[in-house]
Amino acid sequence: MICVDTNIFLIDKIGRAHILKKYFFKKGISGEKKIEQGVKLTSSWLNSKEVWMKRFVFFIFPVIPLILLSSSSLAREKGISETVFSPSQECGNCHKNIYQAWSNSMHAQAISDPVFKLDYLHALNEYGEKVREYCLTCHSPTTRYTGDTYLKNRISREGINCDFCHSIYAVDLENPKDPFKVNPGSTQYGPYQNASSPAHLSTYSELHTRSEFCAGCHQLKNNFGVLVLGTYSEWKEGPYPEQKVHCQNCHMPKVPGMPIVDPKVKKSELNMTAHEFLGGHSEINLQHAATLRTKFEVKKSKALVTVFVTNAESGHKLPTGTPVRKVILSVKLLDDKGKKIAEKEKVYQKVLLDQKGDVLTESYKMILEASSILSDNRIAPKETRQENFEFDLPPGIKPFSVESTLRYQYPTPVLTAGLMEVEMAKQVVSLPLGKIFLIGFFSWLRVFIILLFLFLILWMGYRMLKRRFL
């Protein structure tokens, strides 16, 4: 509800009240002033123009129903609700570009994504109903408040939707089971201090520009105290917090020239940020994440390869997320025709064990059963790892170059291949020219000596023949 005076309530539907504010009072309620859970406006927003406004309000009071009939169609059509979460499509009526981007995001598919679905079904089968509520706390977070764990309402099937994220006004990381403080309804919390909208209140929230906002979901310690998902703490322990580079800086970059709202609704000068939340499902992201530097030499009967792997642009460990992902460095020794002579690999991953000591390979099992971490050799942000590989060279085998590749591997039982693989980086290094020349030199020397020998034999034969017959 919006009150114009401390005791006059104009209208009970917040959307409509806002339209009133917008069209009649222009600068009425500023974004910073907070409505207390749809009861009444606490701050007295009527400023110096108060008296004038009051008169105006009383004057138009009888006309209101008429005005509403004509102008409320916008509000109804936009349908921003007062107390519950609104469907994302309604936000999309005005925030078209953001809606489109979000629709393609993993957040919008957090329920419908087949990888999740299959995993979730397994979990329900094996562990029963109690799992339902738990998984949905992050994958369909509005169910925390609506209790719709059977996903009957469309809004629950939207996964992580607009209104959930923009109703969050605080995150309490001390309370990981229930970290979000939300105020669903008329207020949208966002990154701009000077936004104003006809459909909802806009309240500036610095939290929305910080990693803590994402941490409510991207950090999961299970009942055994094992950190299954540690994306936030991996970021926190890296160099980025000091540089004030938050999750949003990489995953939600500003989109220049794209206004936050449809120009038909408002000519806004504020730009939108990317709402696709691209991560490991994006090849482009993966291809920027890491770099390789390879050194190669041959010493006697050994080929020595050193590879420096740098987590250059990933804000957390590489890989991050549920520990089903692996990053694999492979080094191939090639001959001068590019044929593979030998290959070695190094795998970066976090390996979790259950109570029996068995290695876990599925997300839901990791979340529900991991009781210890066997190993974790993933690469920290900005860290460079040096890996040495030694190949024995059988006699007669001449390596010419070495190819090092970094692959991102994600086992997905829903793909027929059972695996998603993306090449992250690749480098081919040939032996230094001098070395090639030296190896070449020695082999040429051999040929030369054999030829010399042949020549000598022939020459001696020729001399003997010549002496006998001439």
191 three-class SS: coil
14-43: which residues touch ligand HEC (CB under 6 A)?
Answer: 31
Sole window of 311-319, 344-352, 353-361, 413-421 interacting with ligand HEC (rule: CB under 6 A): 311-319
**Residue 348 engages ligand HEC in binding (rule: CB under 6 A):** no
The burial class, CB within 10 Å (0-12 / 13-18 / 19+), for 117 is middle
**Residue 94 engages ligand HEC in binding (rule: CB under 6 A):** yes
Residue 152 beta carbon to ligand HEC: minimum distance, rounded to whole angstroms: 19
Q: Quote the CA–CA distance of 400 and 421 in Å, as a whole number.
A: 27
Residue 248 beta carbon to ligand HEC: minimum distance, rounded to whole angstroms: 4
Quick one: which of 1, 184, 235, 404 contacts ligand HEC (CB under 6 A)? 235
Assigned token pair, 14: 């917040």
236-275: which residues touch ligand HEC (CB under 6 A)?
Answer: 240, 245, 247-252, 260-261, 265-266, 268, 270, 272-273, 275
408-467: which residues touch ligand HEC (CB under 6 A)?
Answer: none
Distances (CA, A) of 229 to 155, 220, 364, 426: 26, 5, 12, 28
Which one-letter DSSP state was computed for residue 212?
Answer: H
Q: Are strands 201-204 and 187-190 parallel, antiparallel or unpaired?
A: parallel
**Residue 400 engages ligand HEC in binding (rule: CB under 6 A):** no
Task: Tell me, rounded to whole angstroms, the distance of Cα 197 from its chain centroid.
Answer: 29
Distances (CA, A) of 262 to 94, 99, 227, 265, 333: 5, 11, 42, 6, 56
349-368: which residues touch ligand HEC (CB under 6 A)?
Answer: 363-364, 367-368
Contact pattern from residue 274 through residue 293 relative to ligand HEC, giving x for each residue in contact according to CB under 6 A and a dash for the rest: -x-x-xxx---xx-xx----
Quick one: which of 95, 326, 332, 385 contacts ligand HEC (CB under 6 A)? 95
**Residue 220 engages ligand HEC in binding (rule: CB under 6 A):** yes
50-79: which residues touch ligand HEC (CB under 6 A)?
Answer: 78
Quick one: which of 149, 183, 187, 314 contacts ligand HEC (CB under 6 A)? 314
Tokens 């309402």 label which residue? 153
Distances (CA, A) of 361 to 365, 367, 410: 7, 11, 11
Sole window of 95-103, 337-345, 369-377, 458-466 interacting with ligand HEC (rule: CB under 6 A): 95-103
**Residue 313 engages ligand HEC in binding (rule: CB under 6 A):** yes
Residue 163 beta carbon to ligand HEC: minimum distance, rounded to whole angstroms: 4
Residue 242 beta carbon to ligand HEC: minimum distance, rounded to whole angstroms: 12
Give whichever of 281 and 435 is closer to ligand HEC, judged by the CB atom. 281
In sequence order, what DSSP letters do the residues of 239-289 get, joined into one string? STTTTT--HHHHHS-EEEEEESS-TTT----PEEE--S---TT-HHHHHHH
Give whichever of 18 and 332 is closer to ligand HEC, judged by the CB atom. 18
Quick one: which of 185, 230, 321, 399 contacts ligand HEC (CB under 6 A)? 321
Closest CA to 171 of 139, 146, 138: 138
Contact 429, 401 (CB under 8 A): yes
170-209: which residues touch ligand HEC (CB under 6 A)?
Answer: 188, 190-192, 195-200, 202-204, 208-209
Distances (CA, A) of 155 to 63, 150, 163, 164, 318: 36, 12, 10, 10, 33
Q: Quote the CA–CA distance of 105 and 110 in Å, as a whole number.
A: 9
Give whichever of 317 and 332 is closer to ligand HEC, judged by the CB atom. 317
Closest CA to 212 of 261, 174, 156, 162: 174
Residue 40 beta carbon to ligand HEC: minimum distance, rounded to whole angstroms: 21
Residue 236 beta carbon to ligand HEC: minimum distance, rounded to whole angstroms: 7
Q: Quote the CA–CA distance of 374 and 354 in Å, as a whole number.
A: 10
Residue 8 beta carbon to ligand HEC: minimum distance, rounded to whole angstroms: 25
Give whichever of 3 and 135 is closer to ligand HEC, judged by the CB atom. 135
Give whichever of 238 and 399 is closer to ligand HEC, judged by the CB atom. 238
Contact pattern from residue 98 through residue 137 relative to ligand HEC, giving x for each residue in contact according to CB under 6 A and a dash for the rest: xx--x---xx-xx--x-xx--xx--x-------x--xx-x
